[in-house]
Amino acid sequence: MISEKNNSFMGPLSRIRFWYAILLIVIAVFLVRLFYLQVIRHDYYESSALSSQLKEYEIPAKRGVIEVHSGDTIVPIVLNETKYTLFADPKYIKNIDQVAEELQKVIGGDTSELKNKISTPDTRYVVLAKRLDKETSEKINNLDIKGVGTRETDYRTYPQGQLAAQLLGFVNDEAEGKYGVEQALNNELKGKPGLLKAITDAQGVPLASQKDNVLVESSEGNRVVLTIDIGLQQQLEDLLKKGLDNAQSSSGGALIMDARTGEIKAMANFPTYDPSKYNQVEDASLFTNPVVSAPLEVGSIMKPLTTAAAINQGLVDRNSSYFDPGYFVIDDAKITNIEEVGGAATKTVQDIIQQSLNTGATWLLMQMGGGQVNEKARNIWYDYMTNHYRLGKQTGIEQGYEAEGSIPDPNDGFGLNIQYANSSFGQGMTATPLQMAAAFASVLNGGKYYKPTIVDKLVSSDGAVDDKLPVVLNENVISEQTSKELRDILEYAFSKNHTFYGMPNLRPQYLMGGKTGTAQIPKPGGGYYDDKYNGTFLGFVGGNQVEYVVAVRVDEPKIGGYAGSRAAAPIAMGLLNTLIDNYGVTPRN
C-alpha cells in the first residue's frame, strides 16, 4: 500500500478500497444467501413451485352413443357433437366495452349482458356463450382478443329429434347423465376419463417444454344398444298423442314389452320435451318418464292378477260360480260395482274379469281368507303382490328415478281389510304401468317374471360386446296351468268387450286380450274425487303364445264414459294392431 498524505479521515485510495471491500462482502453475502435458497432450501422451494405449477386435469372421455333397433338394423338415437364454449379471463380484458361489442357482432345477443359477465370480479374464467358452432368459434379466434378464447365441449345430439326423449334422458353441463338411460347407465356411457398431470403456466395451460408431464389417455364410454325399436317407438308416440287428444287428456303414457324376454320395445309419455333444448325446459317434471317413475292407483287392471292368484292358490277356476250380492260392507265401507252390472246375481270367475266386478275381486280375496277378508287373505294377497308380481319395489329397469309404488302392509295400520279389499281391484295401492306390464306378462307367459329391460347390449370402445340376456327374476309367479286359464279368461272377456275398446272386429288368428282400469283418483287429504278418473289398460297379443304386452295410462280424460275403455283401451288397440300389422306377431297355427 502506498503511503497516504491527506488531511481527511481516509485518503482516496483507502476510501476506494474500503468501499470495494464492502461491495465484495455484499456479493459474498448474496452468494451465501443464494446457496441457502438454492441448495439448502431447494426441496422446500421445489415443492412450493410444484404446488402451484403442477396441475392435474381430468381429460373427459368421449361419451358412448346410444342406438336403437330399426327392424333388423341398428340406428343411432343419441350422438355426440363438438361445440364450442366461449370464455373470458377478465384479468386480461382492458377495454370491456370494445370487447363486448366485438363479440356481440359475432355471437349476437345482448351487449350489456356480455359486459356484465366480463366485468365479473375476482375470477379468471367466465363463460360468455355456449354451444357455438365451429365457424363461430373460428371467427372469435380470428378476432384475436386477449383474454378471450373458446374451448371444445361435446354435446349430445339427437338425430331422431324428440323421439323417446324421456326414456333417453339428457347429459347436463357437468357431463352427468340425467334421467332415463343417460342417468341409469351413466357409468357405462361416460367412459374412463384420462389424466393429465402437467406443469402449467399461471393460466393453467400445460407447458410443452416440461418433460415430467404424465398423460393417461381417456377411454371412450360404451356404446349402448337399446331394445327399443325406433319404428314402434314412433308409432307408439303417434298413437299415444292421438289417443290422448281424442280422450281430451293432457297427459298419459304407454309402453310395449316383449312378454318372452322383458324387453321394452317402445315406451313414451306425453307431454314430453326436446332433449337438445333441455336447458330451456321450465317444468322439471317433463324430464321424468312417468310410465316408470310415476306410480298411480292402477284400477281394475289389477283384477287379472287377483284372479291369477286365487286360481293359482287352487281356490277357484275360471268357471267357479258364486253369488254376488252386488256389494260388500267391509270395515264399515261399502264396495260396489259399476251401475251397468246390476244387482245381486250368480257370477263366474271369468265374469269377474269380463264385467270388471269389484265385488268379484273382493270375493276372490275372501276365498284366500277362507271366506272373508282377514289376516290370512291379506297376507296371501300381499305375498302375491309383492313377491310374485314384484309390486312395491323397483323392477330394476335401466331408467333414472324409477318409482317403487306402494303396497299397504297387511298387518300394520287401520282399516286393513277394506284397504286390502280395495287393492284386489287396484285401489288403495299404487304401481307404475311398467310394474303392471311386467307382472301381467308373467301371468300370461306361463309364470316367468322377466326383469324389464331397455338395454339390448353394451359395446365397449375396443369392440367387446356385452349382450344383455333376459333375466328371470321369478320362475314360478303362477303355474303354467293358471297362466293358460288366465289367457283363456282374458281372451273370452276380450271377445265380449272388444267393441267397447274401439276394436270392431276380432282377429281370430291372433291371441289377444286385455283389461281396462278406471281408477278413482285419490284426494291429497284422503278419500277420492267423485269425478276424476285415470284410465288404464293392460293388453296382450300373440299367436300360440303371448308375445307382447302393452300398458297404457291416460290421466283424467274428459271424454265421457269409462276412462279405461273410452280413453286407454283405444290406444292399446292401436298398439296391438300395429304389432300385428307391422311387427310380425306370429299368428296361431
Partner 1 sequence: MNVMSNRPRRSSVSPSNISKRRHKPDYWLIIFPSALLVVGLIVVYSISPGLAAQKGVTENYYASKQLIAVLLGITSFIIASQIPIQKWKNYRRTLIILSVVASLAVLLFGDKVNGAYRWIQIGGFSFQAVELIKFTILIWLASFLYDRWQNGEINNSNKTLKPLLLLLLIVTLVVANPKIQSDLGSTGVIVAMMAGMSFVACLPFKRIMLIALIVITGTTILVASSSYRRDRLQTFIQPQRDCQNTGYQSCQALIAVGSGGLFGKGLAHSVQAYGYLPEAANDSIFAIYAEKFGFIGVSVIMIAFAVFFTRIKYVIERAPDVYTRLIAAGVLAWLSTQAIINIGAMIGLLPLKGITLPFISYGGTSIIFVMAAIGIVFNISRYTTYTANTDLEKIEGKKIEGSTDRRRDRRTYYATTSRRT
Contact positions toward partner 1, by CB under 8 A? 2-6, 8-13, 15-16, 19-20, 23-24, 26-27, 29-31, 33-35, 37-39, 41-42, 44-46, 48-49, 52-53, 92, 144, 146, 199-203, 207, 209-211
- Cα distances (angstroms) measured from residue 313 to each of 19, 67, 310: 114, 43, 5
Comparison of 39 and 464: residue with beta carbon closer to partner 1: 39
Cβ 51 to partner 1 shortest distance, Å: 9
Cβ 84 to partner 1 shortest distance, Å: 20
Comparison of 22 and 127: residue with beta carbon closer to partner 1: 22
Comparison of 12 and 370: residue with beta carbon closer to partner 1: 12
> For residue 72, what is the DSSP state?
T
Comparison of 150 and 359: residue with beta carbon closer to partner 1: 150
Residues 6+ apart with CB under 8 A from 99: 88, 93, 118, 145, 147, 148
Cβ 122 to partner 1 shortest distance, Å: 12
Cβ 10 to partner 1 shortest distance, Å: 8
Comparison of 210 and 544: residue with beta carbon closer to partner 1: 210
Comparison of 103 and 573: residue with beta carbon closer to partner 1: 103
Cβ 220 to partner 1 shortest distance, Å: 32
Cβ 57 to partner 1 shortest distance, Å: 16
Cβ 144 to partner 1 shortest distance, Å: 7
CA angle 511, 512, 514 (to 5 degrees): 150
Angle formed by the axes of helices 480-497 and 303-312, to 10°? 140
Look up residue 9 and give its amino acid. F
Comparison of 11 and 194: residue with beta carbon closer to partner 1: 11
Comparison of 17 and 523: residue with beta carbon closer to partner 1: 17
Cβ 207 to partner 1 shortest distance, Å: 6
Cβ atoms < 10 Å from Cβ of 524: 5
- Cα distances (angstroms) measured from residue 448 to each of 435, 445, 456, 528: 14, 6, 19, 35
Half-sphere exposure of 94 (CA within 13 A, CB side): 1
Sign of CA dihedral 158, 164, 168, 172: positive
Half-sphere exposure of 37 (CA within 13 A, CB side): 7
CA distance 181 to 532: 33
DSSP of 129-182, one letter per residue?
A: EEEE-HHHHHHHHHH--TTEEEEEEEEEE-TTTTTTHHHH-EE-TTS-EESHHH
Residues 6+ apart with CB under 8 A from 294: 288, 403, 432
